Amino acid sequence: MRQPRRQDAPSPSLRPTRLGLVFLGLILVTLVGCINYGLSLGYGVTFLLGGVWVATAAHATRAGRALGATLEAPAEVVAGTDAAFVARVSSSGPALTAVVRAGSGRRAASSTVHVPAGETATVTLPVPAPVRGSLTLTRPGVAALDPLGLWEVGRPLPAPAPLTVFPAPEANAPPPPPRPVASVGEGTGRTRGDEEFSGLRAYVPGDSPRQVSWRHAARTGTLLTRETDAPAGTALALDWAETAALPGTEARLSRLAAWVNAARRSGTPFRLTLPGVALPVGAGEAHARAALTALARHEPLPAPPAPSKKAVPRPPLPGAPLRFTLFALAVALAPAALRQPVWLTALIAGVLGYSAARTLRRLPAPPTLLLGLTAGLGIALLNAEYGTLLGREAGTALLGLLVALKAAETRTRRDGRLLALLGIFVTLTHFFFGQGPLAAAHAALSVLLLLAALGGWTGGTGSLRAAGVLALQAAPLAALLFLLFPRPDGPLWQLPVQDRARTGLADEITAGEFGDLAQSRAVAFRADFAGSVPAPWDLYWRGPVYEAYDGLRWTQVRARVPSPSVEFTGPSLAYTLTLEPSGKPWLLALDTPTRLPPGAFLTDAFQAVTPRPATGRTRYTFEGRRARLGVRESVERLNFDLRLPVGESPRARALAASWRTLQPDARVAAALEFLRRGNFRYTLSPPALPAHDRVDAFLFGTRQGFCEHYASAFAFLMRAAGLPARIVGGYLGGEPNPDGGYLIVRQQDAHAWTEVWLPGQGWVRVDPTAAVAPARVNADLPTALRQPTALAAPSPGGLDRVALRLDALQNRWNTWVAGYGGDQQRALLGRLGVGGVGSPLYLALGGGLLALGLLPALFAARVRYRPTDPAARLLDDLTRRLHLPRNPGETPTAYAQRAALKYPEQASAIVEAIRAYHNARYGSGRDARALSDLRAAVRRVRGQ
């Protein structure tokens, strides 16, 4: 087998493919989304994809160094067909995928070939030849791809000489006209033919071996060719004038080409006469090609037609890559089934299932109109379900539907690759709903499967393994970027999105509001304290303040009044809250904050709020102190907080009016004593209250309620007694976690209490629930419901301790992975003594660490291929000893000649080693002795 000749082409060039540019665009889009929405796990996946993009460049570089190729032109091309150029692509290293490209005019052709490790593969490059004339290849080249097809390392190929395109012979052409060449007679009127021997002439390359006089060659050693002739009257006269009846030049040339081919097949001598060209009578292959060449070059040459815009029939997609891509896409979409409507999950599953079935059976593709109607119906149903197409739930549900419909209309390899990229984007959208360890595990699995699917469309084998290797090589760089990439403290922009209500404190208080929250053990937030944890009765987490009362509900107000006074009295307390997403703007704070998170502010009701509610789990750092609030308060606010609906609850009004003669402190004490001695019961399931006179019905009727019942009734009594009062909503207490040293505050810890304004004291917190169930303050909610007077909560049991340990792990995950943001980054850099982001030490350290993160990719680019065959491995050892690697496609013999020229003092040892290699690799006795001889011969070559 002839080996491809060595290429002395320019150095290979590394560049991203179109798919690689789209992949990079996906990375940039997801990075912007992660920055804006603070998706910490999204950062991790994005940086992993960035590391994969870098690692694939290293793999492409390695493949490009091993790439070699030659390009051979076809023997003959007919107009209207494809010129089948043959490319022989070799790899002197690992198995690789290569693309051979060439063009002609405005037409381009490409072919993909998979080359086994250390071998040569052949691929046909079909270049369109639409018209007769000359076909010249432009920019022929070959490029090696990485396993995912994101990068290519290309090198040009020597362009073959321009190829003559013969006219297309007329189909079912009539036989040549029976008009023989005129002759004078037998003996004198003869011409070239195949009837009688006429003499010998010198051999010319291309002569038929049957015409060679082998007897003469054996006697003299010179090749001579026998010539034969025939009577001139048997030769054909192919004349341009004979085609005058045909319309147009091309039709006439097509008829003559058919006659020439007929004469060539029969071996009949012929003469060709064209305007300005006359070929004498002759026969044989060379004469026929000369005639066809004359026909191909006949002026005027036709202009190449414009590339057709008609749809070209597409070959069927390979089923295995499409099925794997659909499987990976189904895994990526799976978590959405837990939150989206059942009908949407069934529709997506049906579409993906039908798309997979089409790869196994000949099922018709769904019409475009049907897909469009399905998309329109789905959009209408989603809008009816969510009331909008914006927001997390509606937006991600719509995205899943559109991606599934895209899978149904997949027709090309480009569509298949796009499906894999869309699946990666869908995977990142799940982080809007959670960034726990399970979400991270699902994202890792989905991204690995989708990268493998992307590699499957490139055509490489073992794409799942290749995706795993790339992910491992990308992991160090991704981890360093995760830690060092600057994290902004706020979003870049805020979209007016709408989501379904989440569990949490409401904008208003009605009977049963906090009782509903008490049924949920979902975590509201976790609190880490810089020092010791405050006592349970100091853990009032202040949230919304309700001041407007209409007899049925308490709501918040925006008062345009002067700011009240704040007089700090206690020591400073520092703590960090990790809030679960609630969709509400308020933050939960103890006492009075003296330092708020960036962007947050304190209202005139001493409520900490943020203008941009977090859409994910967020950490906030506070500092606070005890203070006397509102000693100097506006008269307008105090008068507003005295208002009561006219005619509501007259018995309660009368009771409170009887206390007006008492001092303010005594009025508060009288109301608490009334609750303490009134046989009230703390319960989650109180009887329903009427729409009117609700306070009377509670205080003098049911006497059963939850915190909002007691807070509402107490605030009513205080206002009726002449003291401004309002209700504060928030959380009370928290579950200590000894493993993590923090508090877990759950939704069941939601609580409502009262603030009463007392002259000289300001707003004073009064918790009327504590008068009925002291355990609600001293212990926790379950204890208060069982033993209202208990002094402390019982110690956690065995299962509770296990749950607390798991929650401690969850909290660490939230702190350093899911919740890793600007504060954590600054704290980490401070511990390392690096300083702030952007400092010279930060830039120097970051640059050095990122360079270390690139080492796996650089190692992958520099590692040399080791053949699996023992003899080939020993030949590789020889090249290492000489520090002279083989060129792509270079034969061992050619390598030996080159090495002997460079190291003439070892020429004999090198030649002997190559001879031993041929014997061990190709000899009849491929045994251990031959390998031993080769090993000894290689060792005799001195290392350089």
Q: Check the CA dihedral 653-659-660-665 and report its sign.
A: negative
Write the DSSP assignment of 450-508 as a string of letters. Answer: HHHHHHHHHT-SSHHHHHHHHHHHHHHHHHHHHHHS---SS-S----------SS--SE
**What letter represents residue 228's amino acid?**
T
Return the SS3 of 738. Answer: coil
SS3 track for 364-416: CCCCHHHHHHHHHHHHHHHHHHHCCCCCHHHHHHHHHHHHHHHHHCCCCHHHH
Count Cβ atoms below 10 Å from residue 650 Cβ, excluding itself.
12
Give the integer Cα–Cα distance in Å for 410 and 582. 39
Give the integer Cα–Cα distance in Å for 60 and 97. 10
Catalytic residue among 34, 707, 780, 876: 707
Give the integer Cα–Cα distance in Å for 589 and 539. 9
Residue 767 Cα distances to 63, 627, 773, angstroms: 74, 18, 10
Catalytic residue among 146, 207, 749, 767: 767
- CB 507, CB 693: distance < 8 Å: no
Write the DSSP assignment of 28-91 as a string of letters. Answer: HHHHHHHHHHT-HHHHHHHHHHHHHHHHHHHHHHHHHHTEEEEEE--S-EETTEEEEEEEEEEE
Tell me if the bond preceding 300 is cis, omega within 30° of 0. yes
Give the integer Cα–Cα distance in Å for 104 and 165. 12
Please compute, for residue 425, the number of CA atoms within 13 A of its CA located in the half-sphere on the CB side.
23
Paired strand residues for 108:
103
The β-bridge relationship of strands 236-239 and 270-274 is: parallel
- CB 124, CB 896: distance < 8 Å: no
Range list of β-strands (E), 747-881: 750-758, 762-766
Cα Rg, the chain, nearest whole Å:
44
Residue 34 appears among annotated catalytic residues: no
Crossing angle for the helix pair 907-922 and 928-939, nearest 10 degrees? 160
Q: In what order do the strands lie in the sheet with 548-549?
A: 508-509, 554-555, 548-549
Give the integer Cα–Cα distance in Å for 708 and 725. 14
Give the integer Cα–Cα distance in Å for 567 and 630. 8
DSSP H or E stretch at residue 578: strand 573-579
Instruction: Give the N- to C-terminal CA distance of the chain in Å, as an integer.
Output: 33
Locus of tokens 């999950």: 345
Which of 732, 724, 733, 714 has its CA nearest to residue 676? 714
Count Cβ atoms below 10 Å from residue 194 Cβ, excluding itself.
13
Structure tokens at 711: 């807070």
DSSP H or E stretch at residue 824: helix 822-832
Which of 825, 814, 894, 854 has its CA nearest to residue 434? 814
Catalytic residue among 751, 780, 807, 876: 751
**What letter represents residue 303's amino acid?**
A
CA 758 to chain centre: 61
Give the integer Cα–Cα distance in Å for 313 and 307. 15
Residue 751 appears among annotated catalytic residues: yes
Residue 442 appears among annotated catalytic residues: no
Specify burial of residue 478 (Cβ count, 10 A radius: 0-12, 13-18, 19+).
Answer: buried
Question: What are phi and psi for residue 544, nearest 5 degrees?
Answer: -70, 150
Catalytic residues: 707, 751, 767
